[in-house]
Chain A
Amino acid sequence: MIPPKFEYCSPTTLDEALSLLRRYNVEAKLLSGGQSLIPLMKLRLATPAYLIDINRIPGLDHLQESHGSLSIGALVREADLELSEFVRSKCPIVCETAKVVGDPLVRNMATIGGNLAHADPANDHPATMLALEAEIVATGPKGERTIPATEFFTDFFTTALRPDEMLTDIRIPVPAAGSGGAYVKLERKVGDFAIVGVAAQVTINATGMCERAGIGLTNVAPTPLKAYSAEVFLQGKHLDQASIEHAAELAAAASQPEADLRGSVDYKRDMVRVLTIRALTAALERASGQVR
């Protein structure tokens, strides 16, 4: 229950934060929402000597669009994302994903940047970012660099961020007309991590043919997974029950779940199949303009 001692700093500029990161290096952790980090510290599973609170840095909580890209600041709270009409109008799957992160109280503190940077394979946004083929913007001493989401999650709780970098922005290509997405999360109860989660984002053309499909899987591997074989299969095809079911089989085959208290390997794998069908079906309905 009681965290160990640590030094706390609360920079008010990005530069200050980055210089603290550089100085304290692996002994420091960034504090954004704190809803993952602080529980770990209370259990003494995370024992950073320095905590760099980035919540007072202005300019990290924007929600805007530029050049066809939706830009979400790292410090945007999950609750704000959930309720954002702006984001819903551009890319509703992000709102749907935010809605199932933790519980409503956790969402008032938790940030999308933290959800991505923490890289818990059970976190929800990573799969959605893979489905959207989003980009992560990392800011370091030499300035910004862009990392495709597909290259961002490298291992269990590990990202491509360097020790002296901070995730500052998420850039999502605004889906074209004829797009629809859905994030479906199977959980034991509200507030739990996913047994399995599936993000599906599709674009269909005027004849109902799939132009692109993005499918991301939550909590079935050490990192979020992009179901490439399922995506490739769907490209150029009509999305119907048969093609959706086949894509779901491919997604299930691509998953690498481990048995734990949330489920056996067989169950989780079958749930990838079931949830992929549901996510694709919902995505298709939304893409076709039908109200769900």
Chain B
Amino acid sequence: MTIHRIRVTVNGIEHEAEVESRILLVHFLRDVLRLTGTHIGCETTHCGACTILLDRKPVKSCTVFAVQADGRDILTVEGLEQGGQLHPIQDGFWQEHGLQCGFCTPGMLITGYALLQRNADPTEEEIRWAISGNLCRCTGYVNIVKSVQHAAEKMRQGEAA
């Protein structure tokens, strides 16, 4: 079959759609669901601008077919803000100047978010390692590391509170 009906939960909302088997998940998110926060920067699975959470794991959505996401749960950058409140990872990037042109940022946010879910106090080395699948041309990564550290601190305080 080349057309499939899929049901995907994205940012907490269930979507049903008919898609060609070859449509990439990133195109499904951007062109069908019109969630254009997830970006495309290459076609060889290097740049990570397309990073989303698939069942809570950060993956490159340009290297997954939409049909593979049937019945699964996706978080994109648009889903980070909850109830009008920025997630600490988003605020961290704002406070620490972790973005310039903003194009790699959604991918960095999702990867940073996922890192902090499993490691509440990552070292600089661990952060750099975790984002090594996300390319940035503008920031030189220094402030991205600081942004994640800022978010980690915020989240630890939030837990302590």
Chain A residues near B (Cβ < 8 Å)? 1-10, 31, 34-35, 38-39, 41-43, 51, 53, 55, 79, 102-106, 108-109, 190-191
Contacts and interface: CB of A to CB of B under 8 A. Distances in A.
A5 B22 contact: yes
Interface string B118-140: 00000000000111111000000
B17 to A, nearest CB: 15
B133 A105 contact: yes
B70 to A, nearest CB: 8
A1 B43 contact: yes
A2 B65 CA distance: 11
Contacts of A34: 63-65, 68
A7 B2 contact: yes
Contacts of B21: 5-8, 51
Contact of A104 (B20, B24, B70, B133): B133
B67 A8 contact: yes
Interface in B76-134: 111, 129-134
B57 A8 contact: no
A43 B43 contact: yes
A5 B2 contact: yes
A109 B43 contact: no
B34 to A, nearest CB: 19
B35 interface: no
Contact of B48 (A4, A42, A55, A105): A105
The 3 A-B pairs of least Cβ separation, nearest first, read: A103-B133, A8-B21, A105-B133
Interface string B9-38: 000000000001110100000000000000
A8 B46 contact: no
Interface in B39-63: 40, 43-46, 48, 51, 54, 57-60, 62-63
A105 B60 contact: yes
Contacts of A5: 2, 20-22
Which of B46, B54, B59 neighbours the largest number of chain A CB atoms within 10 Å of its CB?
A: B59
Nearest to A108: B57
Contacts of B44: 39, 42-43
Which of A5, A105, A109 neighbours the largest number of chain B CB atoms within 10 Å of its CB?
A: A105
A191 to B, nearest CB: 6
Which of A6, A7, A102, A108 neighbours the largest number of chain B CB atoms within 10 Å of its CB?
A: A108
A106 B45 CA distance: 8
B132 A103 contact: yes
A6 B2 contact: yes
30 contacts: A1-B40, A4-B22, A5-B22, A6-B22, A7-B21, A8-B21, A8-B65, A8-B67, A9-B1, A34-B63, A34-B68, A35-B63, A38-B63, A39-B44, A43-B43, A51-B65, A79-B57, A103-B48, A103-B132, A103-B133, A104-B58, A105-B134, A106-B60, A106-B63, A106-B133, A108-B59, A109-B59, A109-B63, A190-B132, A191-B132
B156 interface: no
A43 B132 CA distance: 23
B1 A7 contact: yes
Nearest to B43: A1
Which of B21, B57, B132 neighbours the largest number of chain A CB atoms within 10 Å of its CB?
A: B21
A262 to B, nearest CB: 16
A148 to B, nearest CB: 32
Contacts of A43: 43-44
Contacts of B134: 105
B4 interface: yes
A191 B43 CA distance: 15
Contacts of A102: 133
Contacts of A106: 45, 60, 63, 133
Contacts of B2: 5-8
Given A6-B2, A7-B21, A104 B64 contact: no
Given A5-B2, A38-B63, A39-B44, A104 B22 contact: no
